[in-house]
Each structure stands twice: as structure tokens, then as C-alpha cells.
């Protein structure tokens, strides 16, 4: 059974639209990551379902039809609230999620353009256009909001650690590696036994498991090394076979590779137990990269460690707290203050003023 057939069975609406199925087939044949194909399929399926409800021919849709889809995404019920006042009101889909949902729709119309079935892309993208006002920048369909990543404060992190100490050894070593090596969820869950080099305390992050297909080697700390050694001894009681590093110990999937969703459930359980609800599988990555910045690492070094192709991505992860910025400002102001006082003290005394008194 082909991957496209599996996807059309999961989302039947894709099979009802010939061009959508053809587009997915092309992306699958190009060897895109299964999770990428799955996300694209879901996004396009949601759009096509909207088209069917509204009686819109997706091949002939225009920009007004796309805005109907955007409005639906912005007003969709969300676990954080029932009412939507704006795209970023805390209810409805988040701005970043809406951007992600529009990506497969835009790529679908790019495909239709290449096939000669359309003359323009109704989704479009923000791009530079010579001759336009405001610097020639054309806005995208949805304004992109760039926020600083959230990281836990000291007391929140201590509560997380207190709960994590009660977790099984597998979960504890996964949490330690996720922070130590700033690993993404898929990178962590995809680690294999031969990716670990205990002698040099390094991990090989294989290209096929990364977001941008860049392989890298990252170190982990001595403390994590001790924890990892304990886990490897425990893992041998579950399975002695080489392969995935982290194995399920549930009765249903015993000794099978640990899934992404199982790890997400573990992290969510820790978040609820510690009452730090914003803690997620990506928080440890945010925190690690931020700590590296606080220690004075250069931007390019952090980018290499994180596996970023461009430093622009790294800047989004580096989140310096207000206290850090206040300390930097205070140090700068102290220097400026000292300089100004010194300049005042060094002002030449006017001639004839020595020894004189004012009357």
C-alpha cells in the first residue's frame, strides 16, 4: 500500500480531489519526511473540507475564499478558551499554527501554477517588491507575530525537577538529554544505541531525524552520563537488541520503540504534576540555548550546537530574561555615569578663577 493511499484513507477528502492526491504523491516521491507529509496532508484536508462546506472549487478559489479559511482557523474552538477576539487572543488557533496551516495550501497552489491550472497563487507570501511603498515590502496574508520563547523561572524549574525525580530512569535520562543537548522531540525519541559514544560523552544526531536534515554531534554532561549508564543497564533487562535507545515498557508495546506521543504524554504529566502548565517537550531546548547565551557563547556556536542552518533561527530561541537585560543596562549606565563624572572633574578651571570667591 502506497503512502499516498494511506493518507487518502486517513483523510478521504484528499481522495475526492484529483489534484490534491497528485500533489501529495509528488511530495512523497521526493522523499519528504513522513511527519512533514502527514502535516501537509492534514492542513490541505482541512482546507478542502472548508471548500466543500462553502461550495468552493479549490482549483478556482481566489483570495477572498482563502480569507474565509483564515477566519475559520482564527475562530476555531481551542482548549485555552471558547471565545475568539483576535488571532492572538489566547483562544482559537495561535498565530504560528495558522501560519503552519497555510503552508500546505500555498504549496498546493504553487503546484497548480506549475501544472498550468492557475495563473496566480491566492495565498501568496510576504516578499520584497521593488517600487512599493514602506520599503517595497508586501505583507503576507496573515501578519506574522514573532514572540520570545517561554522558559521556566528558577522556582518553576525546581518544581519540574522535583516531579521529574519521581519518574522512571528512562524518563529521567530523556529529560536530561533533552536539556543537555538541546534536542527536539523527534531527535530525542529517534536516538539509537549506536548514536551514543560514552567514551567521549557525545551523541550523533542523524540527518534524517532533524528538522533541516543537518547531521551534528553534540556533547552531554558527566552527570547525564552517569544517569545514561544506569539506564543502559536497565534497558538490557527489557531488550538486549541494538536499535532504538528508548523502549516502551507498557504491556501492549513492550520493548517497542518509544513513540513521540508517549514522550509528549510523559512531559504533559510532569507539567500537570508540577503545576507548570506551559512546560512542553520543546521547553528544555529553549532553556538550554538560553543558558548557553547567558554563559557568553557566540551566536554561531549556539547555532551549530542547535543544528540551525541560519543564525536568524537561533535568535528566536535565545531568550534573555528581564533581569539579565536589567543587569546589562545597569552596567552600561554605571559606565556612562562614571564617564560623565570624570569628564566634569576634568573640566579646565577658567583663568582668574583660582582662589577667587563669588560675591
The C-alpha atoms of residue 244 and residue 78 are separated, in whole angstroms, by 35
d(CA 191, CA 183): 10
Q: Is the pLDDT of residue 359 over 60?
A: no
Contact 305, 219 (CB under 8 A): no
Contact 284, 317 (CB under 8 A): no
Are the CB atoms for 57 and 64 separated by under 8 Å?
Answer: no
Cβ-based neighbours of 326, under 8 Å, separated by 6 or more: none
pLDDT tens-digit map of 301-317: 999 999 998 887 787 76
Tens of pLDDT, residues 267-292: 999 999 999 999 999 999 999 998 88
pLDDT-based confidence at 137, cuts 50/70/90?
very low
User: What confidence category does residue 129 fall into, taking pLDDT thresholds of 50, 70 and 90?
Assistant: very low
Distance of CA 57 to the CA centre of its chain: 34
What domains sit in the chain, N to C, each tagged with a CATH number? Answer: 3-138 (no CATH), 154-317 (1.10.443.10)
pLDDT tier at 79, thresholds 50, 70, 90: very low
Rg, C-alpha atoms of the chain:
27
Evaluate the CA torsion angle 219, 190, 33, 65 in order and state its sign.
negative
Q: For 91-126, what is each residue's pLDDT tens digit? A: 567 777 788 888 899 999 999 999 999 998 998 765
Phi, psi (deg, nearest 5) at residue 257: -55, 140
Diameter of the chain by CA atoms? 103
pLDDT at 6: 67
Amino acid at each position: 500500500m502506497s503512502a499516498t493511499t494511506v493518507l487518502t484513507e486517513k483523510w478521504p477528502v484528499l481522495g475526492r480531489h484529483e489534484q490534491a492526491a497528485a500533489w501529495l504523491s509528488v511530495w512523497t516521491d521526493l522523499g519528504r519526511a513522513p511527519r512533514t507529509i502527514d502535516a501537509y496532508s492534514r492542513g490541505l484536508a482541512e482546507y478542502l473540507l472548508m471548500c466543500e462546506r462553502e461550495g468552493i472549487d479549490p482549483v478556482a478559489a481566489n483570495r477572498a475564499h482563502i480569507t474565509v479559511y483564515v477566519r475559520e482557523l482564527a475562530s476555531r474552538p481551542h482548549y485555552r478558551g471558547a471565545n475568539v477576539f483576535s488571532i492572538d487572543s489566547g483562544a482559537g488557533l495561535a498565530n504560528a499554527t495558522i501560519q503552519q496551516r497555510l503552508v500546505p495550501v500555498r504549496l498546493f497552489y504553487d503546484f497548480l501554477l506549475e501544472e498550468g491550472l492557475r495563473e496566480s497563487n491566492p495565498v501568496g507570501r510576504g516578499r520584497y517588491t521593488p517600487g512599493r511603498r514602506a520599503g517595497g515590502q508586501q505583507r503576507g496574508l496573515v501578519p506574522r507575530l514573532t514572540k520570545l520563547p517561554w522558559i521556566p523561572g528558577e522556582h518553576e524549574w525546581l518544581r519540574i525537577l522535583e516531579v521529574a525525580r519521581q519518574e522512571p530512569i528512562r524518563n529521567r535520562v530523556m529529560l536530561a538529554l533533552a536539556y543537555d543537548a538541546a534536542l527536539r522531540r523527534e531527535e530525542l525519541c529517534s536516538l539509537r544505541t549506536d548514536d551514543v559514544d560514552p567514551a567521549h560523552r557525545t551523541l550523533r544526531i542523524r540527518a534524517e531525524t532533524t528538522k533541516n536534515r543537518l547531521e551534528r554531534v553534540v556533547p552531554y554532561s558527566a552527570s547525564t552520563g552517569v544517569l545514561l549508564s544506569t539506564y543502559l543497564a536497565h534497558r538490557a533487562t527489557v531488550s538486549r537488541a541494538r536499535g532504538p535507545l528508548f523502549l516502551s515498557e507498557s504491556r501492549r508495546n513492550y520493548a517497542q520503540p518509544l513513540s513521540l506521543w508517549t514522550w509528549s504524554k510523559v512531559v504533559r504529566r510532569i507539567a500537570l504534576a508540577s503545576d507548570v502548565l506551559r512546560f512542553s517537550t520543546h521547553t528544555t531546548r529553549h532553556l538550554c540555548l538560553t543558558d548557553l547565551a547567558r554563559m557568553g557563547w557566540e551566536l554561531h556556536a549556539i547555532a551549530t550546537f542547535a543544528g540551525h542552518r541560519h543564525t536568524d533561527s537561533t535568535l528566536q530561541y535565545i531568550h534573555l530574561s528581564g533581569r539579565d537585560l536589567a543587569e546589562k543596562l545597569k552596567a552600561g549606565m554605571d559606565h556612562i555615569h562614571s564617564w560623565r563624572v570624570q569628564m566634569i572633574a576634568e573640566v579646565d578651571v577658567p583663568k582668574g578663577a583660582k582662589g577667587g570667591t563669588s560675591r
